[in-house]
Amino acid sequence: MLSETNASWDNPYCFHFLNDFLRTRIVSLIDRTLCGQRRVEFLGPDVAGKCVDIRELDLPWGWKDPRNSFTLEIWKEVFPDARILHIHRNPVDVAASLRKREIRRQQTIDRMISEQGIEGLLRRGMKIQTSVRVENLGEGVKLWQEYLEQIDRLSQQFPERCLHIKYEDLLAGADRVLHQAAEFAGLSPNEEQCYVAGQMLDSRRRYAFVDEPDLVALYKSLREDFLVKKFGYDNIALT
């Protein structure tokens, strides 16, 4: 969807200009896809065999994709009863994580180029670098702002079907937050299930940036930002 408007996950601005012509055709394509082979690839043959269209499934299912922040209006047209679980993290850790991921990808691509040559990489349809933008911490923060601003705007259209959860709250109280999320999704979780799932989380990732002086300095410069305040990140305790 994003590429049809010359947008991408790390530069989603152009998706704001999605017009009715393109929206109608994207929804039509999704309708066909939900009944096609892709549903088998997504659900597996056993589950897919229970329905002709994914929308006929009588069991809970979902998917995770941050790009949903921008494509949500289309998905709500396809799945009008969908519930949106939005998990957000503080901007500094997000920007630092994106930068680290990009550096790791660059290292992987460098190895591939040394083994196959740059022509082999391009023949496989791979990019030499996946995101120049997020290599810069400041741009990573701006991208965080774009996503939070967008999901905040869209969620106000159907607040009863959108739940915002702080990633840091999840790490601090996994049992409670997981139970809340599961109930919101229409499930009936028990305490043991929430406890087991919570044990899979690494609580040390909560406000990981506070141990790095350059990231702390970046955070201090952001404390007065409107979205930082709105999503509860303006009073993080610093060591």
Q: pTM to 2 decimals? A: 0.89
CA 108 to mean position of chain CA atoms: 23
Residue ranges of the chain whose pLDDT lies below 50: none
For residue 7, is it left (φ>0), alpha (ψ between -120 and 50) or beta?
A: beta
CB 17 within 8 A of CB 5: yes
For residues 139 and 141, give the distance between their C-alpha atoms in angstroms, rounded to a whole number.
5
- The answer to whether position 29 is within a domain reads yes
- The answer to whether position 162 is within a domain reads no
Q: Which domain holds residue 2?
A: 1-82
* pLDDT value of position 17: 95
For residues 144 and 131, give the distance between their C-alpha atoms in angstroms, rounded to a whole number.
15
Query: 72-129 pLDDT, tens per residue?
Result: 999 999 999 999 999 999 999 999 999 999 999 999 888 888 888 888 777 777 788 8
Q: What SS3 state is found at 197?
A: helix
Q: How many domains does the chain have?
A: 1
Among 198, 191, 197, 196, smallest CA distance to 173 is for: 198
- The answer to whether position 77 is within a domain reads yes
- The answer to whether position 27 is within a domain reads yes
CB 66 within 8 A of CB 101: no
